[in-house]
Amino acid sequence: MRDVISEKMGISSGSIHKLLYIEEHQPDLLKLIDDGDMSINGAYKETKRQMNIISLSEYVYERKKNVPLNIENLNIYNKTSEDMSEVGNASVQTIVTSPPYYNKRTYGVDGQIGWESSIEEHLERLMTVMSECKRVLKENGSLFLVIGDSYDENGSLRQIPNRLSTRMADDGWILRNTLIWYKTNAKPENGRIKRWGTSYEYIFFFVRSMDYSFDMDKIRVPYTTEPTRHAPRHHKTNTSTFMNQQTNLQHPLGRVPRDFIEDDVIKTSFNQKEKFVPDENLEHGATFPEKLIRPFILATSKENDLVLDPFIGSGTTAKVSLENGRTCVGYEISPVFVDTSYQRCGQVKVIRI
C-alpha cells in the first residue's frame, strides 16, 4: 500500500515512512519542512536523536555500574549551573562552554535552559549562569563562549549571541575577540530556503580584566612557507654609505592565529585522533571538536589549573583539560551525559604539546 501511495504522490516510500515518524514524535518539525527550512531526512535524523535521548533514562542508570564515576581531577555535578556553589570564588582559571540553543533542542530533562517561554527569560537564565562564572573565575582568567543563533517563527534571526554579549559587557566583562568558527561540513539546508545557508558560530573571548593570562607561544600557527631572507641593502647619503639589514618580523614558532577558524585548520592544527563513540545512542547535539577548544585552554591556563564548563554535555572540555594536565569541573542536568562524560574521560592520558 505504501508503494502505491508513494507512486501516486511522487515521493519515495522511505520518505513517507520518515514523515510518519516525524508526525508521531516531533510534529512541530513538519512546518520547518513545509517552509523549506529543513529537509525530510534532516528532520527525521533530529527526531530520532531526540527520541533516543528521551528514552535513555532507565538504560543509563542500568549501565552506571560500568562507568568510572571517580576520575582524578574531574568533578561533574548533575544539576543546573545557575547555582555553582560547589565551586569556590576566584578558583577557576579558564571557562569553555557552549550554552543550549533557544527553542531548538530538548534533552528530555525538566527545567533545561533553552525552552523558556520568551527570549528575555532565556537571556536572564543565561546571565544567571554567566554571573556565577564571573564569581568563580580568577581575576586573570578567561571565558570562551561558543554560541549559535536560531530563527523565530517569522523567519527572523533571534540575535541571541549579540544580545547576550551586550549584556555581559554591561555587566563588566571585557570582550577581547569575536572569533568566527566556520563549519565547512555544516548541516545541509533545504534548497527552497530564501536566504544564505548557515555555516558558522560565534566564539566570544571574554576576560575579567586586562591583566589576564595568555601564552601566545602555545598556540602559534606554523608558517606555510619558509621565511624569506634578503641580502643587506646599501643606502647612499650625501656624506656616507650605510648598510640596512632588513628586519625579519616572522616569529620562529609561527604566526598569530586569526580570528576566523575553519574546520580544515582545526583538523590540521594537531595530529591527534579524537573520535569517541561509546554508544551510538549517546549523541549530544551541541558538541564542538576537541581541536577547536584546545588552543583556548593551552593559551589561557597552565598545568594543574582548574577549567570549568557549566554546560559540559558529552565531556569535550573535560577530556581536553585532563589530556593537557588541567583539572576540570562541570555541570550537566542530564544524567545521560554525565555518564557519557565520565565514560569518555575514563581512559584519558596526558599528552604533551
DSSP string of 16-72, one letter each residue: HHHHHHHHHH-TTHHHHHHTTSS-HHHHHHHHHHHHHHHHTHHHHHHHGGGS----T
Give the Cα separation of 59 and 122 in Å (integer): 30
Identify the pLDDT of residue 108: 66
**pLDDT(191) > 70:** no
Q: Which domain holds residue 169?
A: 68-217+260-345
pLDDT digits (tens, 9 = 90+) for 303-316: 999 999 999 999 99
CB 49 within 8 A of CB 39: no
pLDDT in tens, 96-135: 999 999 987 766 677 889 989 999 999 999 999 999 999 9
Q: Mean pLDDT across the stretch 22-49?
A: 83
Let me know whether 154 and 199 are in one domain.
Answer: yes
Span 259-266, average pLDDT: 76
Shared domain check, 8 and 86: no
Number of domains in the chain: 2
What is this structure's pTM? 0.77
Q: Chain-wide mean pLDDT for the chain?
A: 83
Residue 230 lies inside a defined structural domain of this protein: no
pLDDT of 48 > 70? The answer is: yes
Contact 313, 344 (CB under 8 A): no
What is the DSSP-derived secondary structure letter of residue 258? P
In the chain the first and final C-alpha atoms are separated, in Å, by 60
Model confidence at 190: pLDDT above 60: yes
Task: Give the domain CATH number at 195.
Answer: 3.40.50.150
Same domain as 136, residue 88? yes
Question: Does residue 243 belong to any structural domain of this protein?
Answer: no
- Residue 73 included in any domain: yes
> What pLDDT, on the 0 to 100 scale, is given for residue 271?
39
